[in-house]
């Protein structure tokens, strides 16, 4: 086996796609992983906790972090800032972990540009737009206006699925979880360019 540092698994997809349920379902079966806790300026929703769902900060604090180059990537989603702090990710990668991000399509592109050779990306979606609408309405944590915003966003995001390595259609949770587990285990096998170059150099052990 070629030994190397950690790798990244990016998960994107509309709220209501079931990303959190899928992660929870496979958490015990994909080895040691670090789930990247994002920072956001959006309001805390009912039931959400600081340090569990997000780091909730003010716009001023977020903009200070941008200035100090503290983010691996950040984006504006639904009018709020969301970002991935660089330091915890660096540490987790150095510890050889599978680092999982739940970020939007803009974030995926930014991560691909910075860490493309160790990144596997997955777009998770319900089977249709109307099924997404049903799920969001059933969840009843959002107002109709927020739901409409999410649906509009989902219509835009689905156009960019070709930027991902895999699409997981979450029709049936058990089936989708099985597929995602396979992808997560395979993501661990991805080898950075630098390590491949070193391997090739060593492999050529007969010099002419
Ligand atoms: P929500 O407000 O429903 O928790 O998240 C809204 C959207 O923001 C989701 O698509 C989620 O994937 C995305 N998101 C959450 N954290 C980050 C982040 O750190 N960076 C980026 N680019 N998007 C994020």
Write out the two tokens for 199: 């391997």
Atom 21, ligand 1: residue with shortest CA distance: 103
Q: Which of 38, 80, 152 to mutate to test the pocket of ligand 1 (most atoms within 8 A of CB)?
A: 38
Range of the domain at 149: 1-32+97-208
Mean pLDDT value across the chain? 94
Is there a single domain that holds both residue 28 and residue 118? yes
Write out the two tokens for 179: 């597929």
What is the mean predicted confidence (pLDDT) over 139-163?
A: 91
Structural contact between residues 132 and 147, judged by C-beta atoms closer than 8 angstroms: no
Is there a single domain that holds both residue 12 and residue 86? no
Q: What is the CATH number of the domain that holds 47?
A: 3.30.63.10
Give pTM, 2 decimals. Answer: 0.94
Is there a single domain that holds both residue 88 and residue 180? no
Identify the pLDDT of residue 4: 72
Q: Which of 77, 135, 160 to mutate to test the pocket of ligand 1 (most atoms within 8 A of CB)?
A: 77
Identify the pLDDT of residue 207: 81
Domain count, the chain: 2
Separation of CA 78 and ligand 1 centre (Å): 9
Which among 10, 65, 69, 62 is positioned nearest to 36, based on CA atoms?
Answer: 10
Identify the pLDDT of residue 68: 97
Is there a single domain that holds both residue 10 and residue 69? no
pLDDT, tens digit, for every residue of 42-87? 999 888 999 999 999 999 999 999 999 999 999 998 889 999 999 9
Is there a single domain that holds both residue 79 and residue 146? no
Ligand 1 environment, Cβ below 6 A: 12, 15, 38, 42, 73, 75, 77, 82-84, 102-104, 106-107
Is there a single domain that holds both residue 10 and residue 46? no
Separation of CA 175 and ligand 1 centre (Å): 24
- Distance CA(102)–CA(36), nearest Å, equals 8
Separation of CA 10 and ligand 1 centre (Å): 11
Separation of CA 83 and ligand 1 centre (Å): 8
Does the pLDDT at position 3 exceed 80?
Answer: no
**For the chain, what percent of residues have pLDDT higher than 70?**
99
Structural contact between residues 150 and 136, judged by C-beta atoms closer than 8 angstroms: yes
CA 80 to centroid of chain Cα atoms = 18
CA distances from 78 to 43, 74, 103 (A): 12, 13, 13
Structural contact between residues 98 and 190, judged by C-beta atoms closer than 8 angstroms: no
Q: What is the CATH number of the domain that holds 7?
A: 3.40.50.300
Atom 12, ligand 1: residue with shortest CA distance: 103
Q: Closest ligand 1 atom, CA of 83?
A: 19
């Amino acid at each position: 086996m070629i030994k190397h540092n950690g790798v990244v698994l990016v998960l994107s997809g509309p709220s209501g796609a079931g990303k959190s349920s899928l992660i929870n379902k496979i958490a015990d079966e994909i080895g040691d992983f670090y789930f990247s806790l994002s920072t956001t300026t959006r309001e805390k929703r009912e039931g959400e906790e600081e340090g569990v769902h997000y780091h909730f900060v003010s716009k001023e604090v977020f903009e200070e972090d941008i200035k100090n180059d503290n983010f691996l990537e950040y984006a504006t989603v639904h009018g709020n800032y969301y970002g991935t702090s660089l330091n915890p990710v660096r540490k987790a990668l150095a510890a050889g972990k599978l680092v999982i991000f739940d970020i939007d399509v803009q974030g995926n592109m930014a991560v691909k540009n910075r860490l493309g050779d160790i990144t596997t990306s997955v777009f998770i979606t319900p089977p249709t737009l109307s099924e997404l609408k049903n799920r969001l309405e059933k969840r009843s944590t959002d107002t109709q206006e927020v739901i409409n915003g999410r649906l509009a966003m989902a219509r835009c995001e689905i156009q960019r699925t070709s930027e991902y390595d895999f699409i997981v259609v979450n029709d049936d949770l058990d089936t989708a979880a099985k597929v995602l587990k396979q992808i997560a285990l395979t993501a661990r096998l991805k080898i950075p360019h630098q390590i491949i170059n070193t391997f090739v150099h060593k492999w050529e052990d007969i010099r002419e």
